[in-house]
Amino acid sequence: MNLVMIGTGYVGLTTGVGFATLGHQVVCVDIDAAKIARLDLGEVPFYEPGLQEALTHVQEKGRILFTTDLKSVIGGAEVIMIAVGTPPKSTGEADLTALFAVADQIGSLLDHEVVIAVKSTVPVGTNRKVIAHIREAMEKAQRAELTSLINIVSVPEFLREGSAFEDFLQPDRLVIGSDDKLAGQTVERLHKEMMAPRVMTTLESAELIKYAANAFLATKISFINEIANLADRVGADVRHVAEGIGHDHRIGPHFLKAGVGYGGSCFPKDVSALEQISGANGYSFKLLSAVIEVNNRQREMFFKRMMEKLGGVKGRRVAVWGLAFKAHTDDIRESAGIEIAQRLLAAGADLVVYDPQAMDNAKAVLSHHVEFAVTAMDAATGADVLVVLTEWPEFREVSFSTLHDRMIEPTIFDGRNHLADLNLQSQGFVYHGVGLGTYDAA
């Protein structure tokens, strides 16, 4: 099939390359000319495992093109998929400005039957507004007779940064929402190579499924962090508690890792948006308010505990391992690593940081007073304390005997319990994790 993908961010580019990998002809459109130029040269503008190799492959096969000119490619489209950003406003609701601008542009150019598929995460009711924008623009362009041939499908994404390309090819499920059966079937044909359950539903249900999924996962994270805070005070180990409850198939083991809370481009935005959607529809979603409160408090508690144990950090050399919000990505949006680094800097620390992929992005938001190390060991050399905030595998692979000798005071605060099973205390480290039953509540 001929697919036009509008938007080349994490979702749009991964999805576009994914459909090209499945054999479809894909044209990706973006207003960012510099990004399109890089993509034309075969360069993925962000880090996502497997995506660079896949892009090279489909470009060699001639299955994907990149352009800033929607007008030049819209005529051949059977499906137009929209994957532009919907960032949060200060109120928590999604900003749909870019989405509606794209809808208006599509409507002004369309002159044939096509299915519109919305991949962007949007509040319930947005797809109906998008198709209304498109049809209104078509009428202004004097193509009112074609409006009945344009139908819309909600096809939310469930891609995890760090494994997004794999998630596209091997999804847990496909959610396809539409009022028009044929339009839904057209979008389903795009996915015919995927062996995954299909959830065929309405526009509103598809929109809500996306928010409900992320809100539920965020709830699991906040729940286990609350258990971790209790475990510290009663002498229990949250890792064992998580394992014990995770074997229950009704609960499952996923998203039960205690730490400094969730971050990234999806969970904070989507949980806040769902809370706002609920309020706008006259319902107080109290559980979501608590999930957000717990997540915000978790970072504060971790930082406060460090300050209490260390007696402050002013003038002390502090190393931070991990700036991306999670491993296997360079995304620093809503990152605990970035926030805690900024807090340490404000508290007077002599800060040195390291991340395998997120350094360039971090340099754009951290103070010029921060030192960016070349390796994890370089960052920790001469440090009074090491703070671990992202679960990069390489952090477990360093020589801890060398690390011990390189640090002034071999003290580690692990905000992810990433090194908790390495028995670092026996190697001479003072080690603090989250929920390991060692917090002195007094």
Say if residues 326 and 49 touch (Cβ distance below 8 Å).
no
Single-letter code of the amino acid located at 289 = S
| Cα 325 to Cα 78: distance, rounded to the nearest angstrom | 37
Contacts of residue 77, defined as CB under 8 A and 6 or more positions apart, other chains included, come to 2, 3, 4, 27, 114
The alpha carbon of 26 is separated from its chain's Cα centroid by a whole number of angstroms, namely 24
| Cα 172 to Cα 427: distance, rounded to the nearest angstrom | 42
- Positive or negative, the CA dihedral 218, 220, 223, 229 is negative
Closest CA to 387 of 425, 336, 435, 428: 336
Within the chain, how many helices (H) and strands (E) appear?
15, 14
Contacts of residue 370, defined as CB under 8 A and 6 or more positions apart, other chains included, come to 341, 345, 351, 352, 353
Say if residues 267 and 214 touch (Cβ distance below 8 Å).
yes
Catalytic residue among 20, 80, 266, 320: 266
Closest CA to 435 of 243, 248, 257: 257
Active site residue 28: no
Say if residues 189 and 245 touch (Cβ distance below 8 Å).
no
Closest CA to 395 of 328, 304, 335, 298: 328
Q: Under DSSP, is residue 317 helix (H, G, I), strand (E, B) or coil?
A: strand
Closest CA to 210 of 254, 271, 253: 271
Contacts of residue 201, defined as CB under 8 A and 6 or more positions apart, other chains included, come to 175, 176, 177, 209
Contacts of residue 19, defined as CB under 8 A and 6 or more positions apart, other chains included, come to 3, 5, 26, 190
Q: Under DSSP, is residue 150 helix (H, G, I), strand (E, B) or coil?
A: strand
Say if residues 36 and 58 touch (Cβ distance below 8 Å).
no
Single-letter code of the amino acid located at 216 = F
Residues of the chain by 3-state class (helix, strand, coil), percent to 5: 45, 15, 40
Longest dimension (CA), the chain: 77
| Cα 1 to Cα 187: distance, rounded to the nearest angstrom | 10
Residues with a catalytic annotation lie at 266
